[in-house]
Amino acid sequence: MTRAGSQRPDEPFRAKFGKRGELRQPVGRTGRAHLDRWLPFIVLHRSSDPSHSIARRVAVNSPAYLIWSPEDDLAARQAIEALAPAIADHFGRMLVLTVADSEWQPVAEGSQQLAPFDDLIGASAGPSASRAVDCLADSLKSIRLDLRAPEVHKTVLDEAVARDAQGRPLARVSLSILEDPLLERLLSEKRQELDHQLTMLATRNTPAFQAASLLQYGTVSSRLLEDARAILARPDGKAADGERLGAAEVAEAARQLVAQYRSVDPRFEAAIEVRDDVASLLVSGEKLMIASNTSMLRSRLEALLAHEVSVHLLTYFNGSAQGLTVFRTGLAGYEGVQEGLGVFAEWAVGGLSEARMRLLAGRVVAVAAMLDGAEFVEVYRTLTRDHGLGRNPSFHVAARVFRSGGFAKDMIYLKGFQNVVELVGSGASLRPFWIGKIAPGHVGAIEELLQRELVRPPVFEPLFLERRDVADRLARLRARSSFDAILDVE
């Protein structure tokens, strides 16, 4: 059997199965993966308070389990990604069970009322998962505690989601026909990301959604959280005021900027739409959609158009010029740096306001609190009382974070900005990121594909980079090269 001491806690997780499938390895600094032998299932449990967790005791009594604490979310993700394919390949399929503690609801001392005895269970779509959850429900109903049987509540996916997720045909798509190991790797990563997104869709509004969200977006690092708290600790600047613009004026300014890109190449065929069904500015494919009730400070217009048009639309049209459409829809993990480039564009043109930075930092703090088990009201109070964020933005941040059961995405804006600032500060070029929607880990692959002429150089580059004031701002950043100093570079 593989011994727990054979891998250092800071090493990436690599599954080391014995001859019979046995495995026992640490996961990060607090977690553990354990398999008695090859088994077609695994039990997952994540707890910030292991010593008092009943669910953890249930998990470790299983012959196949993975347990960890929030600080080891990244290591747990690596472990899941290593173990699941191996188990599924051995049996053709696998069963994944997640166990979690219910929120404890104490009763008054001396009360005759018993605490609730409820079980909430859910399953992904498909007949096999449905049969499994039915068997689990029947078994749970046979349990007796204090002469009571539990109330078992099953989470049922709506029919549309069930049809979409059923069977996961992605796994059956063969990529070997590409006959190119690099392209096969890039598309294999994307296939895995799509599978994570399907899992999020299938588990929305259930306790499992948060874990699915972590698979897709990762967790909040201690450094990112420190940076966010440092931003919120700065003196809150004077609220911005001045002339405000409506949707029609924003749309006209966007059309003028698009026209400048079209003068470079007519393939920048962006559609600018004013709509009633969006909340702000939003890019989807070749469209920039503007909320009909938009009321924007003129001082923020240039920054937002730099973000939406000169980053999101630009990388879409550059990606469209490549041979593979995945460069316009996005390689795996592209969202973080894509949003980071957008925020960087706001900063580069001098329009990243103190209020905007505080909002992005508040999102990081909110995600971290949610992942640590805080409820909605606790997150709201943390933002307002501990960090001085206004009541309205605090409410909206908390609402975003608790979407669908706990959504980790909102921390990627500041995280991506942090990554881009570090790249620029180190002297690295951002040019590979204009080729399409890629992640930092793809830069080496892009350079190789450029040399092999399998991808083309970017047709468009952000127009704001040609400005003298932007060049001066970037030079000052490279001289300081610290994310901590980003707000002091002006």
pLDDT tens for each residue of 205-231: 887 888 888 888 888 888 899 999 999
pLDDT band at residue 114 under the 50/70/90 scheme: low
- Give the per-residue pLDDT at 326: 93
Q: In 69-117, at which residue ranges do the beta strands (DSSP E only) sit?
A: 95-98
Contact yes or no for 307/389 (Cβ under 8 A): no
Average pLDDT rounded to a whole number, residues 333-360: 94
Please say if the pLDDT value at position 2 is more than 50: no
316: left (phi over 0), alpha (psi -120 to 50) or beta: alpha
The first and second tokens of residue 184, run together, are 């096969």
Contact 103, 56 (CB under 8 A): no
Would you state the pLDDT for residue 113? 56
Q: Which residues share a beta bridge with 291?
A: 275
Helix axes 334-348 and 468-480, enclosed angle (nearest 10): 110
pLDDT at 8 over 60: no
**Which among 139, 141, 126, 140 has a CA at the least distance from the CA of 96?**
126
**DSSP letter for each residue of 448-464:** HHHHTTSS---S---GG
pLDDT beyond 60 at 42: yes
31 - beta bridge partners? 27
CA distance 70 to 100: 13
User: Which residues, in sequence order, are CB contacts of 463 under 8 Å at separation 6+?
Assistant: 257, 260, 261, 310
In this structure, what token pair is assigned to residue 212?
């699915």
**Strands, DSSP E only, in 141-258?**
151-155, 244-246
Does residue 133 register a pLDDT over 80?
no
Pairing of strands 41-46, 64-68: parallel
Please count the helices (runs of H) and the strands (runs of E) in the chain. 19, 12
Quote the tokens at residue 173: 């798509």
- The number of residues in the chain equals 490
DSSP state of 27: E
Percentage of the chain beyond pLDDT 90 is 50
- At 439, the pLDDT band (50, 70, 90 cuts) reads very high
Tokens of 346: 């706001």
Q: 23-27 and 31-35 as β-strands: parallel, antiparallel, unpaired? A: antiparallel
Flag whether pLDDT at 286 surpasses 70.
Answer: yes
Q: How many CB atoms lie under 10 A from the CB of residue 293?
A: 12
Section 267-273 average pLDDT: 96
On whether the CB atoms of residues 227 and 414 are closer than 8 A, the answer is yes
How many Å apart are CA 208 and CA 82, to the nearest integer? 20
- State the pLDDT confidence band at 345, using cuts at 50, 70 and 90: very high
Burial 17-55 (b: 16+ CB within 10 A, else e): beeeebbbbbbbebbbbbbeebbebbbbbbbeebeebeb
276 near 292, Cβ under 8 Å? yes
- pLDDT reading at 378 higher than 90: yes
The pLDDT value recorded for residue 417 is 94
Tokens 């890019």 belong to residue: 283
Compute the average pLDDT of residues 422-433: 91
pLDDT digit string, tens, across residues 399-424: 999 999 999 999 999 999 999 998 89
